[in-house]
A and B are shown apart, each in its own frame.
Chain A
Amino acid sequence: QVQLVQSGGGVVQPGRSVRLSCAVSGVTFSAYGMHWVRQAPGKGLEWVAFISYDESNKYYSDSVKGRFTISRDNSKNTLFLQMNSLRPEDTAAYYCAKDNSYYSSGSLDYWGQGTLVTVSS
């Protein structure tokens, strides 16, 4: 079965960096676009970033553009989110998610369990 296992996160000071990982199994990882979505405490879901299957296209939300970098290693079936210059408003549960189609439609058929990032001094 398809599994997305997340790691990384934790408590980090404002201005510092952290990297999230998402290991994918049970599917041909290199054939699908991948997304990161987050949910701040008491708030709704916010899409964060997308990377195409071959890394040729990367998109970011305005709230993280220039600070976060999405990447992937298709040889290791792993997705990454490098988060720099962190702010308290970046505090959230972060989820990786697989795109539902080969052409990256934008619907998300499998999600990770989430990893909490808390930005606090």
Chain B
Amino acid sequence: EIVMTQSPATLSVSPGERVTLSCRASQSISNNLAWYQHKPGQAHRLLIYGAFTRATGVPARFSGSGSGTEFTLTISSLQSEDFAVYYCQQYNTWPPITFGQGTRLEIK
């Protein structure tokens, strides 16, 4: 099973800041990585798949990069609606599909 590790667990940032979230895979997953956003009471939202392809309707301030074992999600200028929990997920080798533990973005 591929283990996904996200860092940091929590990030306190101010609106307008640029933020980078990290995700590491325990073995190479090529570019078969997705990022999701989750807000309380809402459905999870696919942001990025294929490591860097934005899903339909996702604003351009969200960008993904990386391949192999190291990946990042960058939000270029944080908006109030971006404060949420972010998960990475590998789908290179499944079953099982595996997720990171999540990074919570909090308002500073």
Contacts and interface: CB of A to CB of B under 8 A. Distances in A.
Interface of A: 4, 35, 37, 44-47, 50, 59-62, 95, 97, 100, 105-114
A108 B43 CA distance: 12
Interface core residue of B42, B43, B49, B98 (most chain A CB under 10 Å): B43
Contact of A35 (B36, B87, B97): B97
Given A47-B96, A105-B91, 15 more contacts: A35-B97, A37-B99, A44-B99, A47-B97, A47-B99, A59-B95, A61-B95, A95-B44, A97-B44, A105-B49, A106-B32, A106-B91, A106-B97, A109-B46, A109-B49
5 contacts: A44-B99, A45-B99, A61-B96, A107-B32, A109-B49
Contact of B99 (A4, A46, A60, A114): A46
B67 to A, nearest CB: 15
B89 interface: yes
Q: Tell me the dominant secondary structure on chain A's binding face.
A: strand
A104 B82 CA distance: 28
Interface of B: 32, 34, 36, 41-46, 49-50, 55-56, 87, 89, 91, 94-102
A49 to B, nearest CB: 9
A107 B99 CA distance: 11
Nearest to A114: B43
A50 B46 contact: no
Contacts of A105: 32, 49, 91
A47 B49 contact: no
Contacts of B87: 44-45
A20 B101 CA distance: 25
Nearest to A113: B43
Nearest to B56: A109
Nearest to A59: B95
